[in-house]
Amino acid sequence: MIKQALAGWARSSSPACGPFDERSGGSRWGKLGFAADLARPGAAASAPTLPSPQAGRGFAAVQVGWRILALAAVLGLTVIGPAPAIAAAASGDPITIGVIEDRSGGASFYSQESVKGFKLFIEMMNNGEFLYAKSVVGTQPGIMGRPIRAIYEDDENNPNLTLVKTRRLLDNGAQIVFFLSGSGSTLQGRVVCSEQKILCLAPTNVSARIVQPPNNDYVFTVATSAELDSNVFLEAWKRLGYTRIAYVTDNSATAKTVADGYKRSFEKAGIVTAIDEQSRPAPAT
């Protein structure tokens, strides 16, 4: 039920932000419901069950969606200040989130930091601690009072393993998938999201290709894309008179995906590639 409700709701466009324009290379927050009529604090607190896809804009879907968004957003934000003390804890059947992580590959250095933040925020959500998001989602612990459970699979930042590991997560009961490995891995894993019509989020990936066709209907990003970031660099270089660039990357799938995004933007702007060197990823420590 939750898979159908979330997927149906996520596919609807937000009237406040409008549908996502895939040509812009931006993240797809808009389609996840950043709309004034949906973001009513406490409006979903009394909803006893999750809605059907047809009722995806209902209050229950709002609460579920905003709590998942808070979980995604915290991976890229630093929050300062004391958390509210909530006595009650989540109870009942858990909502299971599957996580693709990299424990030993080229993305492990940031993947494992993301996993730490993910685990911490799940614990806080299950205790009803929502920090900056409580004005939207309220203080009912977990998701609609139900605890959040996370299961993990290591894809080693290897896109060839991501498909298998994502399917394994679903076989083991995952109702939502978070991709916390490299962008190249997410590009493969999103195929399963589309096939199974399950909500997937990639909060730390920066490749704009993740939300571009094909197989982009059920995957969402949070971070600014590399292509958009490149515009900031180009403006600075233009002011400084720089016209040539050297690239030093490793040969992992993630490095190639991200570097290709930068290169397209830089070449289009007339920046000449002087050197393009690759190295093997450093071993995980």
Residues 6+ apart with CB under 8 A from 112: 101, 102, 103
Mean pLDDT (whole number) for 227-240:
92
156 or 74: which leads in pLDDT: 156
Is residue 66 very low, low, confident or very high in pLDDT (cuts 50, 70, 90)? Answer: low
pLDDT at 279: 86
Domains parsed from the chain with CATH numbers: 2-224 (3.40.50), 227-279 (no CATH)
The string of pLDDT tens digits covering residues 181-218 is 999 999 999 999 999 999 999 999 999 999 999 999 99
CA 79 to CA 23: how far, in whole Å?
A: 32
C-beta separation of 70 from 130 below 8 A:
yes
Residue 33 has pLDDT above 90, yes or no: no
Residue 212: name the closest of 186, 232, 246, 249 by CA. 186
pLDDT (0 to 100) of residue 260: 87
Name the band, by pLDDT with cuts 50, 70 and 90, for residue 42: very low
* pLDDT exceeds 70 at position 47: no
Helix axes 226-240, 253-268, angle to 10 degrees: 50
pLDDT score recorded for residue 65:
63
Residues 161-172 have a mean pLDDT of 98
Among 167-171, 248-252, 271-275, name the one with the lowest average pLDDT.
248-252
8 A C-beta contact, residue 196 and residue 176: no
pLDDT band at residue 46 under the 50/70/90 scheme = very low
| Residues 221, 256: Cα–Cα separation, whole Å | 19
Q: What is the reported pLDDT for 43?
A: 36
Better pLDDT: 95 or 16: 95
pLDDT given for residue 217 in this prediction? 96
At 258 the pLDDT is: 84
- Give the pLDDT confidence score for residue 120 in this predicted structure: 95
Say what the pLDDT of residue 254 is. 79
pLDDT tens for 106-143 read 899 899 999 999 999 999 999 998 888 888 888 889 99
Q: Is the peptide bond before 51 cis (omega within 30 degrees of 0)?
A: no
Q: Which of 24-33, 92-101, 120-129 reaches the highest mean pLDDT?
A: 92-101
Note the pLDDT of residue 64. 61
Give the residue among 18, 25, 55, 28 at the shortest CA–CA distance from 218: 28
Residue among 154, 185, 161 nearest 252 (CA)? 185
Quick check: 57 pLDDT over 80? no
**pLDDT exceeds 90 at position 255:** no
CB burial class (10 A; 0-12, 13-18, 19+) of residue 247? middle
| pLDDT bracket for residue 241 (50, 70, 90) | very high
Select the more confidently predicted residue: 48 or 84: 84
Strands 176-179 and 95-101: parallel
The long-range contacts involving 211-218, CB below 8 angstroms and separated by at least 24 positions, are 211/20, 211/22, 211/27, 211/28, 212/22, 213/22, 215/190, 215/191, 216/22, 216/190, 217/11, 217/193, 218/7, 218/10, 218/11, 218/190, 218/193, 218/194
For residue 53, name the pLDDT band (cuts at 50, 70, 90): very low
**DSSP code at position 80:** -
**How confident is the prediction for the chain on average, in pLDDT?**
77
Question: Residues 219, 10: contact at Cβ < 8 Å?
Answer: no
- CA 2 – CA 239 distance, rounded (Å): 51
Residues of the chain by 3-state class (helix, strand, coil), percent to 5: 45, 15, 45
C-alpha to C-alpha distance for 147 and 35, rounded to whole angstroms: 26
DSSP 201-239: EETT---GGGGSSSS-TTEEE-SPPHHHHHHHHHHHHHH
